[in-house]
Chains A and B, each alone.
Chain A
Amino acid sequence: MKPRVLIGAALLGLALPCVALAAATGGAPPVEGMPQLAFGHPEQGRYLIASVVWLLIIFALMYVIMAQVALPRVASVLEERRARIEGDLEQAQAAKLRADAALAEHQAATVKARAEAQASIAGATQQAQSEAAAKAEALNARLNAQIGDAERRIAASRDSAMGALRSVAADAAEALVARLTGGADRGQVEQAVGAELAARGRA
């Protein structure tokens, strides 16, 4: 049954009471008491019984239309809506899960990046410290070498100075001896100077 047919039937139903208004009451005797209970009245009684029969027919018609056509439609629309809402909720759930996963990933990446940064900072510090230590060691070695050199040069200078002192002292002693004695043996003078220097701890 198509809805248009049924709506047309509904409009026909609308027209019927108008016809009822137009219908004139017949020439039957007046109704005594309540018309609803006038089962004995020649006209009303017949209509009352007939109206119940028609009621059963019309109500059966209504039941069939509702059960077969109208209510399944409503049910399908409601079901559609329910399914749609559930689908949307599921989508939202999935989106939330994705967002959570992305957040967790992001946090993990942050933690990793921080750890890497810490590691590289520590490495750089270590390297700088070791480089500084190496440089300081090299500098120390160079300085020690220079100190050694300088000490050696000082020692050499002192030795040569001491050597010069010996010959100067010998020369001076020979000259003195020559002036005092008139002649001096160079070998004896040098021997005496050496002994004198050795005695004074300057040899």
Chain B
Amino acid sequence: MATEGKTIDALSQFELAPVLGRIGDAVGFSQSNAHMLLVVGAVTALMLYGMANRAIVPGRLQALAESAYEFVHGLVTEQIGEEGKRFFPFVFSLFMFILFGNLIGLFPYAFTFTSHIAVTFGLAAVVFVLITVVALSLHGTKFFGYFFPEGAPVWLAPIIVPVEIVSYLSRPVSLSIRLFANMVAGHVMLKVFATFIILLGGLGAIGPFVATLPLALNIALVGFELLVAFLQAYVFAILTCIYLHDAVHLH
């Protein structure tokens, strides 16, 4: 698909296709959702199979599972505090879901569900609903004081309140677009340079030599994408923690 008619087609990799035949088509179960299930399975397998030995001195897989646990646990307790412990399973699920989605999406032929704004916005909306519900249930109507900081001059209220409301509402938007844009950009670049390899490779005798340039670039890009995959999952998780901190403590 990449070189149809010698043009660069970097976007068709994001098209959704139903799986499981007619049933899958009827319920709209696409390869994107299949990869989500794969991620759930992989994370579950890591956490259960890795911890199956319950060793005092952990093996490699158990060390991986434990360090994932302790990494997110540290994130949650540092950002939210002791009250944040009940959100730990949520943040852990979110982090591992996005991280594994990003990483599995880097495999050839795999689909990156985090490159869909609908998916990332869905996750961000879950976070947004959660922080709003937590803030309302913990603080009741005092929550609305969040939009007007104490001590600010009252005559500034017409400016501050709308700004605060807009900044609050833009949280899910920035959260989702950041992840979506990073993943799309990375995969488009990979696809574009991969197409260059094939296009340049067809340029007669010197083609194979020139084609090594985009190949080298793509190798570097894969390494970079691994970094981005981790970093974006981390950013999503830590921003969720910061928002939860705001919801629990109201500044």
A→B interface (CB under 8 Å): 3, 6-7, 9-14, 16-17, 19-21, 23, 25, 31, 33-37, 43-44, 46-56, 58-59, 61-63, 65-67, 69-71, 73-78, 80-81, 84
Contact A11 B41 (CB under 8 A): yes
Which of chain B's residues have a CB closer than 8 A to the CB of A48?
Answer: 16, 116, 118
Known: A51-B116, A80-B54. A36 touches B14 (CB 8 A): yes
Known: A7-B49, A19-B20, A36-B14. A58 touches B69 (CB 8 A): no
Contact B36 A63 (CB under 8 A): no
Contact A55 B123 (CB under 8 A): yes
CA distance A3 to B54 in the complex (A): 13
Interface string of B98-122 (1 = CB under 8 A from A): 0000000000011101011111011
CA distance A77 to B70 in the complex (A): 12
**Among A3, A13, A23, A35, contact of B52 (Cβ-Cβ < 8 Å):** A3
Which of chain A's residues have a CB closer than 8 A to the CB of B122?
Answer: 52, 55-56
The list of the 9 closest CB pairs from A to B, nearest first, reads A50-B28, A10-B41, A13-B41, A20-B31, A67-B89, A16-B34, A70-B47, A47-B16, A54-B33
Which of chain B's residues have a CB closer than 8 A to the CB of A46?
Answer: 28
Interface of B is mostly: helix
B→A interface (CB under 8 Å): 11-12, 14-21, 24, 27-45, 47-49, 51-52, 54-56, 62, 65-66, 69-70, 88-90, 92-93, 96-97, 109-111, 113, 115-119, 121-123, 126, 180, 184
Which of chain B's residues have a CB closer than 8 A to the CB of A77?
Answer: 51, 54-55, 62, 66
**Among A36, A71, A81, contact of B117 (Cβ-Cβ < 8 Å):** A36
**Among A10, A16, A20, A63, contact of B45 (Cβ-Cβ < 8 Å):** A10
Task: Return B187 CB to nearest CB of chain A, in Å.
Answer: 11
Which of chain B's residues have a CB closer than 8 A to the CB of A62?
Answer: 39-40, 43-44, 93, 96-97
